Amino acid sequence: MSPLCLGAMTFGDDWGWGANVEETTAIIHKYIENGGNFIDTANIYTNNHSERIIGDVVGKHSSLRTDMVIATKFANNVFPGNPNTGGTGNKSLMTNLEHSLRRLQTDYIDLYWIHSWDFQTPMEETMRSLDNAVKSGKIRYIGVSDAPAWKVAQAQTAAILKDWTPFIGLQIEYSLLQRTVEDELIPMAQEMGLGITPWSPLKGGLLSGKYTRANAGNVSGRLQTRSNGNVELSEQQLTIIDELQRIAAIHNTNPAAVALSWVNNKPGVSSTIIGVRTLQQLEANIAATNVHLSNEEIASLDALSMPPKTFLAEYKDMIPMMQHGGIEINGVKPAALPLLANMNPAKY
């Protein structure tokens, strides 16, 4: 599977900011020419036009379809007013699966994602229904997107115990500007055997190189349109962008390629989703596959983008002081226990 996955939320201009059919077709072919083989879409993207475009360009060509990994998602309702076509219940799953297969012009989907967790449907019903769809041959593998770590762990454990098809992937937002997932979601995925597929690795374009300290607030584009005004960047965001520019100059590449390389080389990441609207953006993103960051460069970006410590991060700091009562085990010496008088009760 390609280290960069072609995200298809921009396939079709039905939402006002995507690429038209001609542009999208050119992007798909260029991606494939550069060795890409993984396309990720969803039933709801551009009012399901995204799936239909992929079907026309890839699905109906059997030789090309065999080479490609096509992923799509369900859970969001594309049939307003019909309560049976939203969520992750059995009827919704089967209805949306059949529609996606027809739009994609394929007999099977390589990776079928739960788009977002449905708290109204019993987890057992969803997992059993996905397992039935896999056994029927209409789905090869399953994954989950945008769900709490505890629900994913619960569902994965149930699948393993009941011999149902387990998840193989977790799709989450992950970038230099969104690292809170490192607290629980990423460790959970690694523990549960899920490959991580980050989305919005450029934070909606903020890390693309388009926005800089010099032009902050004076750049037009999708982010400006969605925020109903100028895009205002924080000092931390500008500092990260400055460092991306510095590292990009060293590697003779662009800031987007550096930001993508940082994400793609993080532990547990299988393939990073790129979302592009032009061939130029695709080429800039693909350049990430030739960027090899040094340990010092990674450490610099890590330090600048470090999120505030969460409860779990704080707790991890305490563990070495407390476990095994200070006894050396297998040659590993525990951290020195702090004097109780120096400990902050409010912290611990």
The set of catalytic residues is: 45
> Cα-atom radius of gyration of the chain, to the nearest Å?
22
Secondary structure, 3-state, the chain:
CCCEEEECCCECCCCCCCECHHHHHHHHHHHHHCCCCEEECCCCHHHHHHHHHHHHHHHCCHHHHHHCEEEEEECCCCCCCCHHHCCCCHHHHHHHHHHHHHHHCCCCEEEEEECCCCCCCCHHHHHHHHHHHHHCCCEEEEEEECCCHHHHHHHHHHHHHHCCCCEEEEEEECECCECHHHCCHHHHHHHHCCEEEEECCCHHHCCCCCCCCCCCCCCCCHHHHHCCCCCCCCHHHHHHHHHHHHHHHHCCCCHHHHHHHHHHCCCCECCEEECCCCHHHHHHHHHHHHCCCCHHHHHHHHHHHCCCCCHHHHHHHHHHHHHHHHCCECCECCCCCCCHHHCCCCCC
Sequence-distant (6+) residues with CB within 8 A of 185 are: 149, 152, 170, 172
